[in-house]
Structure 1
Amino acid sequence: MKKTFEEFPKPFWVLIGATVIDQTGQFMVFPFFALYMTEHFGVGMTEVGLLFAVFTITGIFGSVLGGALADKVGRKSMVLFGIFISGLTSISIILVDDLNLFYGVGALVGLLGNIGGPARQAMIADLLPEEQHAEGYSIFRVAFNISATIGPVIGGIMAVRSFDLLFIGDAVLSAITAVIVLIYLPETKPERAEDAPEETMAESVGGYSKVFKNSAFMLFILVSILLSSVYMQMNSTLPVFMRDSHNFDPKVYGGLLSMNAAIVVIFQLWLTRKLSKYPQLVMAALGAFLYTIGFAAFGFISGLFLFIVVMIIITVGEMIIAPVGQTLAAKYASEDMRGRYLAVFGFSYAIPNMFVPYLMGLIMDNYDPNWVWYLAGILGTLATIGYLWLFTKDKASEKVIVNTI
């Protein structure tokens, strides 16, 4: 552990520590948000679903704006702004008693709450040399999973006493995180070349046109959208499928998620280091292949033991694909455009999140639920082929470059 700590610069560990604290607050609140909304406003899951849709749609715009600002204003400024807004909205939620106003707050949370995300991810690429990017994003994932393990437990204890304590606790943790970032985290935005003109805000936002014209990167995003459409079944259709089709108690699903998080915390960095010598797009294909096997298997298995085995297969795939995906996204970008590239990489989850759970829900409600997993297998297969095709395309490009030198 000491050796691992010494291999990375101190500001990187400050960022990781701040992430654990801030995300613990997020995970204290998020699992209980639907319970709070239905109890406080006396509404059903339709209204809750609408709010989550508002989160997602405005979050896309927030991420786009945040990516441009991270490249123009700086990483640290945007991380601080995102943390400040997170704490402020947590307090404001307690004060809102009107449902329509609550939707307005939800739109604000989605827009501004995601604004610091691209800056935080760009900081990792800024702080570390390229050969450490995959390991850095692996540690970032471990931090995220630690928060995902701790946060709901603390949140559950608080929610029993009062939902207001959840939001106050999140605001307090946001304040602590902001102080740590302000004092101990340096600005990591790469210095602009002396002869390079400074971008206006309009030019920073307009810079997304360069991102969208990068055909290799956009193909990578398209393939990643296919794979995200598979993975998001983990938190949408899977718990309902386990309950309705296999009569599992919800705590069994919760146990599988806890096992998933524990495996990531224990083995993520070790696995990333073991696989670092292999081409990243090939590893992405391997992770996608394991997703395909795992999610498709839900349509054929029964019994707790097999569900545990399949969840382990999916978790290994997740540990392979997640850090590789972020590393590749950062690799496609020049230093001065990392924020914008990583913001667009966020589309690979946000876009399918807008409609895939709804479509899969329609299948579960009106057809054989196993078709959700058959379709997941098809999408996963396409993603696996897509990553391998991108790898062969990259190799072909390298050959052309070598032959022209």
Structure 2
Amino acid sequence: MRPIRKFLNVYSGLPSSLYVLFAATVINSVGMFVFPFLTLYLTGRVGMTQQEAGFFIMIVNFAYIPANFIGGKIADTFGRKKLMVAAQVLSGLCYIPCGFAGIGGNVRWFLLASVFFDGLTDPARSAMMTDLTTPETRRRAFSLTYLGHNLGFAVGMMIAGFLFEKSTSWLFWGNAIAILAAVSLVALKVPETKPSREQVEASFGSGATDEAHRGNIIQALLSRPYLVMFTILTGLYGFVYAQHRFALPLQTKEFFGARGSVIYGTLMTLNATMVIVLSTPIMALTQRWKPINAVALAGILFALGFGLIGLAPSVLLMYLTTAIWTLGEIVNATNEGTYVANHTPISHRGRFQAVLPLIGGLGWSVSPPVVGWFTDRFGLKTAWPYLGLIAALACIGIWYLGIIENRPGRKLGKARAM
């Protein structure tokens, strides 16, 4: 028990509001019932074809883009808490009619509305996390939230599988209850965190990496070229990491035939177990590192973990490579967000949390069709070394970016004044 207590102590001393957000994250993730089973629901219950279901899910994903942009502006202008509470209540309420028999194909419109309102919330949620922390506490706070999401999701998937088979209506109602319960905690226990005008004005000329910026979002982004380049490079990580859902299950099927789906399932179980068990110890071991150096280390682990997958049809190799890239996932998940938060201007936190995930997420979005095209022509096994090379090149770029930032006379993450 003493080693466990020692590792958990790394989360002590954080603001009380962060523990409330952790609890809300766990509740929300436990109730994340609908979207993991959305394809099965649309094809099996609503009667869509696979093509129609795929097209609808693509539209759902695109709905986040305008929602994030709008949410980022609202969060910076009117406040994080107001937006979070209003948008999450509306998102949760949209699930309730979906559970009633006879709604049929209209469920699509309620789901689309729910996703839009949830997209409004994302920049406010991330900005609130940044508001509540300092550069010294952000890594621990982001790690705690990451742990809470994975704990809740692991429990929620077991419940969701039962509900999908036994009571589909409660798949939607349970999701709604979880969202409303989580946002109630935020409404009752978390104060508004938007920086005051005085705090923003005081940051000008401070030289801090989160110094406020006078200007619009484009001008603010141009003033942070290192942060933009960091986001593009980590987007290459996303390009590689996305293949654990696309090419990896196909590779297990090619290697092991009928056993492939079972083996892939156990690989994902290994991934989830490692994330839950090792997130806290790894964060504790790396908390004295500079975030950018830790993100570079994640690239080495991604390069090895994905680059070696096609080496041989060995179950042991599959488990080993999964363990390696999962370690990369854990290291990256905590430190990437910390670096971004530390280098985001205090005046634009909501808007940066809307735009940067869009830039970084392009790699993840284009990865399946690009790699699918490649594997159709050159084979699955051929793709893995190239994916490893992409991760390695991104790692080198991030490491070099950290070296450039530390040169004398340069402000971290900011353009040199003209």
Query: Counterparts of 2:153 and 2:200 in 1: how far apart (Å)?
Result: 45
Distance 1:364 1:346, change over 3 A: same
- Does the Cα contact within 8 Å between 1:291 and 1:314 map onto a contact in 2? yes
Helix, strand or coil for the counterpart of 2:197?
A: coil
2:166 is the alignment partner of 1:156: no
Tell me which residue corresponds to 1:130. 135
- Distance in 1 (CA, whole Å) between partners of 2:199 and 2:299 is 43
* CA gap 1:94/1:353 in 2 versus in 1, 3 angstroms: farther
Per-residue Cα deviation, 1:269-308 (whole angstroms, up to 9, x for no partner): 2212221222222211110111011111112132222111
Per the TM alignment, residue 136 of structure 1 is displaced from its structure 2 partner at its CA by: 0.9
- Give runs of aligned pairs for residues 49-60 of structure 1, distance below 5 A: 49-60=54-65
Q: 1:394 aligns with which of 397, 405, 408?
A: 405
Counterpart code for 2:198: A
Matches within 5 A, 1:282-301: 282-301=293-312
Paired letter, 2:228: M
Letter in 2 for 1:16: F
The whole-number CA distance in structure 2 between the counterparts of 1:82 and 1:178 is 10
Q: Greater CA deviation, 280-289 or 79-88?
A: 79-88
Displacement of 1:5 in angstroms is: 5.2
Partners of 1:56 and 1:371 lie apart in 2 by: 29
Partners in 1 of 2:309 and 2:154 — Cα distance? 24
What corresponds to 1:238 in structure 2?
248
State the TM-score, normalizing by the size of structure 2: 0.87
TM-score (norm 1): 0.89
C-alpha change, 1:363 and 1:171, in structure 2 (3 Å) is: same
Contact 2:72-2:354 at 8 Å conserved across structures: yes
Determine the C-alpha separation between the residues in 1 that align with 2:122 and 2:410: 36
Within-5 A mapping of 1:243-258 = 243-247=253-257, 248-258=259-269
User: Which range is displaced more, 157-166 or 40-49?
Assistant: 40-49
Residues paired across the two proteins, number: 392
Is 1:321 the counterpart of 2:332? The answer is yes
Instruction: Give 1:130 deviation, angstroms.
Output: 1.3
Show structure 1 runs of 5+ residues with no match: 197-203
Could you report, residue by residue, the CA deviation over 1:64-94 in whole angstroms, capped at 9, with x for unpaired residues?
Answer: 2222222112111222233213312222434
Q: Does 1:270 align with 2:285?
A: no
Amino acid at match of 1:207: N
CA contact under 8 A between 1:55 and 1:109: conserved in structure 2? no
Partner of 1:15: 21
2:237 corresponds to which letter in structure 1? L
Residue 158 of structure 1: CA displacement? 0.7
The separation in 2 between residues aligned to 1:232 and 1:136, in whole angstroms, is 25
Q: Distance in 2 between matches of 1:50 and 1:211?
A: 35
Give a deviation string over 1:110-144, Cα, whole Å, max 9, x none.
Answer: 43222111221222221122111111111111011
Q: Which residue number corresponds to residue 227 of structure 2?
A: 217
Tell me the alpha carbon deviations over residues 7-47 of structure 1, each in whole angstroms, 9 at most, x when there is no partner: 21211100000011112212x22221110000123223222
Partner-residue secondary structure (3-state), 1:139: helix
Identity %: 25
| Matching of residue 189 in structure 1 with residue 194 in structure 2 | yes
**1:167 corresponds to 2:178:** no
Asked if 1:228 corresponds to 2:234, the answer is: no
Q: Output one character per residue of 1:165-215: Cα deviation in whole Å (capped at 9) or x when no partner.
A: 11111011112112211111111111112896xxxxxxx9x8321343132
Whole-Å separation in 2 of the counterparts to 1:319 and 1:353: 17
Query: 5+ unaligned residues in a row in structure 2: which ranges?
Result: 202-212
